[in-house]
């Protein structure tokens, strides 16, 4: 609090102080979930669902972490969530949607929009139990040679 008072006292006039106080009251924008893989889920039904990703080495990545370079937005929303990985390695990734165990088992329908290395695909899903594997993402190295003439 004392540091803020020092900064305000150093401003030239009351208008500048008022503008600084107003700017200080605004919440910073949430970081955007972006990277080589972005999974953006939307659903109806008012349930808190979670996106998770099982990496080629078996690590589970979700809003709780699991790997460096992971970002998540809207983790507590009841109609959407976005999970992103900054970088991808070769191998197969499974993408899952799950709900908290012990909650309603009513079917929930939604769509998972996946962007991986610039490729986009929309995958519809229906969650009838606790968890469903919605898709598999396969990342491979492919060589292509062409003559220069």
pLDDT 10s digits, 131-143: 999 999 999 988 8
CA distance 148 to 142: 19
CA-CA-CA-CA torsion sign (56, 58, 60, 66): negative
Task: Tell me which DSSP letter residue 130 carries.
Answer: S
Question: pLDDT tier at 22 (50, 70, 90 boundaries)?
Answer: confident
d(CA 32, CA 19): 26
**pTM for the whole structure:** 0.71
The token duo for 89 is: 């390695």
Output the average pLDDT for the chain: 87
């Amino acid at each position: 609090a004392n540091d803020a008072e020092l900064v305000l006292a150093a401003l030239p006039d009351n208008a500048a102080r008022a503008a600084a106080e107003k700017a200080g009251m605004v919440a910073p924008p949430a970081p955007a979930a972006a990277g080589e893989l972005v999974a953006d889920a939307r659903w109806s039904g008012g349930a808190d669902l979670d996106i998770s990703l099982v990496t080629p080495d078996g690590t589970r990545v979700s809003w709780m972490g699991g790997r460096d370079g992971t970002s998540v937005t809207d983790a507590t929303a009841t109609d959407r969530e976005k999970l992103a990985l900054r970088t991808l390695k070769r191998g197969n990734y499974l993408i899952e949607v799950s709900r908290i165990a012990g909650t309603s088992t009513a079917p929930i329908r939604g769509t998972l929009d996946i962007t991986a290395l610039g490729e986009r695909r929309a995958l519809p899903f229906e969650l009838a139990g606790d968890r469903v594997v919605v898709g598999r993402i396969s990342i491979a190295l492919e060589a292509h040679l062409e003559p220069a003439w």
